[in-house]
Chains A and B, each alone.
Chain A
């Protein structure tokens, strides 16, 4: 009995065509899923500021205090990264970082976005190579301070925009793919 009521309810909700109402509901499901994925990581401004300061300290400290601080700085950096990762994966930590959601990673990456992610990785490796070259060969005095100021400043100024760009790239690969309503994943 309740089944017929249910069918009647579906039919009544559209007043004419249950399939049109079903199609509208499916479109809404897909739209909401896309909306959830689009909520990807746009973090609070303070996260970029802290990241910039950390990079500056990491590169500048050996020039200012001597080589003996390098292991300690690296150790502190690892600790900070661990804290960041733990915060990112917990509800309270995520909220503190300015992330209102934790997006499921299942099916997030795609062959389309992999190309751009690879380009991003190459860019990061290129920057790391330049840093190693300048610091290793001490091309000029206080090279670490200068590099640290440049990279740290860039992170502070462009960090949020870079973050948005990466999020957009991740989303880009998803466009045109079958939605949840088109079939099971």
Chain B
């Protein structure tokens, strides 16, 4: 197993869920991500800030009519990090299965 590919940011299950959700979409509304992951707005905001600081998630704010909206999307760096992380996780599982009789 090569732990170098495991991303410390994505070891957190909530952050892994958020990035996994965003990898399938070009963008998503903040409220949709919040409902899908089952977090409060403040909890999601905190996790998104962490991912944004790392360059994994991009945040865009705007208005639709008079209603404020926030959109999230996974950046190229976030996509690459998730791919590496998933590959490393898969390797852990495969090696474990290889060891078992």
Contacts and interface: CB of A to CB of B under 8 A. Distances in A.
A70 interface: no
Contacts of B96: 17-19, 22
Interface core residue of B13, B24, B31, B92 (most chain A CB under 10 Å): B24
Which applies to chain A's interface (DSSP): helix, strand, loop or mixed?
A: helix
Contacts of A49: none
A19 B16 contact: no
Interface in A33-79: 33, 35-37, 39
A6 B3 contact: yes
B62 A91 contact: yes
Contact of A25 (B8, B13, B69, B95): B13
Interface in A69-126: 91-92, 95-96, 100-104
Interface size class of B (residues with CB under 8 A): 35 or more
Nearest to A25: B89
A39 B27 CA distance: 12
Nearest to A99: B29
Contacts of A96: 64-65
Interface residues of A, number: 39
Contacts of B24: 32-33, 36-37, 103-104
Contacts of B28: 36, 39, 100-101
Interface of B: 1, 3-4, 6, 8, 11, 13, 16-17, 20-29, 31-32, 36, 60, 62-65, 69, 71, 82-83, 86-87, 89-90, 92-93, 95-97
Top 9 closest pairs, chain A to chain B, by CB: A19-B96, A36-B24, A32-B20, A100-B32, A22-B92, A100-B29, A102-B26, A101-B28, A29-B20
Interface of A: 2-4, 6-7, 9-10, 13, 17-19, 22-23, 25-26, 28-33, 35-37, 39, 91-92, 95-96, 100-104, 180-184
